[in-house]
Structure 1
């Protein structure tokens, strides 16, 4: 194991466990603390913008690397990572500040919504280590390892970003 791996790998594994656990705990808080004084619908719209922007940047990054533009690819992917990180912090704040809003749709749309929501939530936990390892391998210039993991990271991360927007679209009438 490389010297940097001895530090980075345990940090990535720890974050990959802690982040989903913290989000899960926050979803079941018995009491909410309105930290920023924002209306309930403010966070979801902001989250949809962040997710949509992340999806665009992921597609741009994919296009750039396929067109042999590694420097531009790197900046697109770092920006996608930063937006996803901002999303995560904002999402945690929203869970602390606001109670969950139930989905009120019926019939086929209800089943579709819950399919999208459940797959989005599960893959949101899965994507944490994938993104962290992919970013780490790319930034440490371990391109063979980066490429190997990125082929899994990209479609999952893109799915999570797109379904994040879809969850918002489904929930807009209920905020």
Structure 2
């Protein structure tokens, strides 16, 4: 098990660095293809679905429904991956939308956006480590880190929806 965990740890480090760098780098790539404008509500909806899945998954494990919990967590990871792909594709084919609100609400938006971005980077290794600890049957350590992973991931999912709702009038 120790050897398997070390193998996974290398991938966790690589993905935790490569994903944020790739997202940042791909923002500077503009493809001459126009994707539908309706992509932002789709990937915001995926974030909302992810948030619901996370809450139900916690309920499932607290009620000793391990198989349901496992399936929900795999689905949440898949949703997050689909979100990321759609998000990158949209931003590679569209100009960024500027927030048009004024006054205090603009600072609320910027705070939510900034914390969303920062925590979306920070949550990557947490999700990966939590997942690896589960699939390697290291459930004691899995439970310990899941207590941090869950609120971080839930905040990222919910704040993504809030950011979308706040900026959607300006698309």
Contact 2:57–2:72, Cα closer than 8 Å, also in 1: yes
Contact 2:60–2:66, Cα closer than 8 Å, also in 1: yes
Alignment of 1:58-77 (within 5 A): 58-77=54-73
Deviations 1:104-139, CA, capped at 9 Å, x for gaps: 001111011000000000000001101011111112
- 1:38 counterpart = 2:35: yes
Deviations 1:31-82, CA, capped at 9 Å, x for gaps: 51144x323x322111111000000000000111111111111111111110
- 1:160 counterpart = 2:149: no
RMSD of equivalent CA atoms = 1.3
Alignment of 1:1-175 (within 5 A): 2-27=2-27, 29=28, 32-35=30-33, 37-39=34-36, 41-175=37-171
Instruction: Give 1:26 shift.
Output: 2.2
Instruction: Give 1:144 shift.
Output: 0.8
Alpha-carbon distance between aligned partners in 2 of 1:130 and 1:42, rounded to the nearest angstrom: 31
Alpha-carbon distance between aligned partners in 1 of 2:48 and 2:2, rounded to the nearest angstrom: 36
User: Which stretch has the larger CA shift, 18-27 or 163-172?
Assistant: 18-27
SS in 1 for 2:97: coil
SS in 2 for 1:104: coil
Unaligned stretches of 5+ in structure 2?
Answer: none
TM-score (ref. length: structure 1): 0.93
TM-score (ref. length: structure 2): 0.95
Unaligned stretches of 5+ in structure 1?
Answer: none
User: Which stretch has the larger CA shift, 48-57 or 62-71?
Assistant: 62-71
Alpha-carbon distance between aligned partners in 1 of 2:79 and 2:32, rounded to the nearest angstrom: 23
